Chains A and B, each alone.
Chain A
Amino acid sequence: MRSMIKNKKYTSNRLRGLLSRKRLLVILAVLLVGFGAFALTRDNDKTDTKSPSDTTINTQPATEAEKSEAERAKERIAESEQSTTTPGQKKTVKPVITDTSNNSIKAYVSGIFEDSGSCTATFTKGGTSLTKTSSGFKNVSYTQCEPIKYGDSSLSSGKWSVTIKYSSATAEGVSDASTVDVQ
């Protein structure tokens, strides 16, 4: 008990020493500067965003990495300006099958952007082969094949192999084979 009182006294003496008038002024100045800086940054945040979700909006200037991405965007443009296409020659494309479930084949063709082509699915099983066709249409930056439906009982049950061939006045090509499981 006694030693505790002693310790208490010791601590308060230390505190008194630490909090001499001079030091108090220094601490006060630091606190004021700190709060001033905080108030300034808070104010900046407010003027910068004002949005309902301003707690998460990053209004810092572009980073060096973001700036260099802008340079890469320009380089891609510069490269594409220099690339040439041979007139009169059909472009070779490779359709991609993305889904064969739900009784339809979904596929697209990158590298071309047109409405005029056709997408032909060739289904094969054993010696049997069957084709179904749909049209291609523009989607953002590539050509989308309209889904090719196969759930009309024209395919017997079992595993079929399917490829998609794209054909238009400007481009042509066949996809890799995919599998269709007909129930």
Chain B
Amino acid sequence: MQIKLFLALVLPMVVLFGLFVNTSSALSSSEWRAGHIIDDSIFFNANALGTADTQSFLNAKVPNCDTNGSQPSGRAGYATRADWGRANNQPPPYTCLKDYRQDVSGVTADSYCSAIAGGNKSAAEIINDVSKACGVNPMSLIVTLQKEQSLVTDEWPWTTQYRSATGFGCPDTANCDATYYGFFNQVYYAARQFKLYIKNPSLYNFEYGRTGNVQYNPIGGCGSSPVYMETQATAGLYNYTPYQPNSAALNNLYGTGDSCSSYGNRNFWRTFNDWFGSTISDAFTIANTTHPDGTLVKTFGLPEVYMIIDGKRYHVPNIDTFNSHGFSWSEVRQATAPDRDLQINGSLTFRGGTLIKGKNNPEVYVLRCMDTFCVKDWISSIDVFSGLGFGFIDVLELPQSQVDSTYEKKITSSDVHLQDQLVLDRSSGKVYLIADGAKNWVPSLQIFDAKHFKWSKVEDAKPGDLALPTGPDVSFPEGALLRANGDNAVYAINHYRSLNGSSTGSEKRHITSAKTFSGLSYKPNDVFVIDASYTAAYTTGATIAE
């Protein structure tokens, strides 16, 4: 009977607590990956916390600040913390991070961080201002403050800890450099430094997508091991603190290891995991090979997007150019280290068929383009313009300085659609691309998508269009990923190019492993699944492998 009563009382409690108590388990050293301390998408996420969130977090970590240092010091000969503090030239009162404020003079923008306004600011405001200005996660900065000086959890921090809060300018066995003293300076220069590493990767020891030897400890004789830097943030952390934990430090994750241990990067990883959750969200290893031609690439943290053509990089100079090609951000891949070594060979131009006009003049031109060069034809009247199916919403208005009055052809008729226009033959249901004086059938929806064609741009075919000779079918563009139905092998399409840049043939390049596939930041949905006879028709080119 009593057992029943006990069960009736306790079981619901057990069930309730079982459901609602935080079930997160302690971090294990086996989860440490030297080359992948943290994902870039996490480390550089400046919007992960706001100022109020940061303030709440700091409040929660230190509910009671020992402002007067009245707690026992725990050190022989010194009754209170204040006594020991005074002996080290650090008398009370002590200000905890949650209460800390500083007069900030502000900084101007440079190529690494945007400007930060001056004023009297709390620590939470400083952390968030710097985070937003430099594009670094406030969590990364909070953890850096903890890793370097334990400021976040300190109930009676010393002024020296604020002065050198992120360890910036503090060599291991010498005094700190006064140039970087002060809480604001410390947070600002730390965050900015991670941007320096992104912008000047080859200048520093450890480079994203490359292997470097990382020591275990500054003491000579403790050894090192090669570490492949799987993320930019990981390379940055090793550039910031060039040591990795040895097995003794990892085996005692919440304590000390041996005389060859170092703790900076271990503690960053451990503290981030403990406070803010996993440091790895989209676990993939960046591949050690270039992307195939026809791929858009971008280095994390840098604004420039490049298109790879013939093994060289072409800068996509502005958003108008990007949009004119119908690109979407989801197809911009993370540049690998070998990508970053590719020569920059100029800028990509607009897509052929783009309509432009200067800001101050009414003339509308249509472009005919190669990769890096366009000529413009003048559409001579509004009747011709509308007769070709164009609307003014399609016209890109550019600064007048970019649109001179020279043109190659004057378009005076709308009887035949122009180069790069799409037309629909309603009798056959076929969509054609007008190109090189011919009508070229777009034989599948996948090719239509892969070419970034838009249905809104498809015009009804005119008799003049259908009277054009039939050219070769439109094929997949360079860089398109294909897989035959029922086959797991994924290929990237490559076009041979003659010296003048025009395509002369196509081949398929096999991406030899799933690791390389994901390491090139491709996703399964990026692959067009087509009939096996279609992939078989391509000749086979060089493999894409590491």
Binding site for B on A (CB under 8 A): 18, 23, 26-27, 30-31, 34-35, 37-38, 41, 47-53, 55-63, 65-67, 69-74, 77-78, 80-81, 83, 85, 91, 94, 96-99, 101-102, 104, 106-108, 110-113, 138-142, 144, 146-147, 176
Contact = CB atoms under 8 A, between A and B. Distances in A.
Contacts of A65: 254-255
B293 interface: no
B168 A141 contact: yes
A49 B56 contact: yes
Interface in B24-75: 47-50, 52-53, 56-57, 60-63, 74
A74 to B, nearest CB: 6
A96 B215 contact: yes
Given A48-B57, A99-B205, 20 more contacts: A26-B5, A30-B12, A34-B16, A53-B276, A57-B276, A59-B57, A70-B150, A70-B157, A80-B175, A98-B213, A98-B242, A99-B213, A110-B171, A111-B173, A111-B218, A113-B169, A113-B174, A139-B239, A140-B169, A144-B204
A69 B150 contact: yes
Contacts of B519: none
A58 B174 contact: no
A41 B239 contact: no
B12 A34 contact: yes
A57 B275 contact: yes
Contacts of B210: 99, 101-102
Contacts, number: 184
Across the A-B interface, the 6 shortest Cβ-Cβ residue pairs: A56-B277, A62-B153, A34-B16, A70-B150, A70-B154, A59-B60
Nearest to B49: A51
Interface string B183-199: 00000001001000000
A121 B261 CA distance: 29
A108 B242 contact: yes
Interface string B151-186: 111110110110000011111111101000000000
Given A57-B57, A77-B160, A141-B167, A146 B203 contact: yes
A73 B150 contact: yes
Task: Give the one of A48, A99, A102 with max B CB within 10 A.
Answer: A99
A35 to B, nearest CB: 7
Nearest to A96: B215
Contact of A49 (B4, B53, B206, B241): B53
A58 B62 contact: no
Given A51-B50, A70-B155, A144 B203 contact: yes
Interface residues of B, number: 75
B534 interface: no
Contacts of B150: 66, 69-70, 72-73
11 contacts: A23-B8, A27-B12, A49-B56, A51-B48, A57-B275, A61-B62, A66-B153, A83-B173, A99-B212, A142-B172, A144-B204
Contacts of A49: 53, 56-57
B149 interface: yes
B234 to A, nearest CB: 14
Contacts of A81: 88-89
Given A52-B48, A73-B154, A77-B160, A61 B60 contact: yes
B8 A18 contact: yes
Nearest to A109: B171
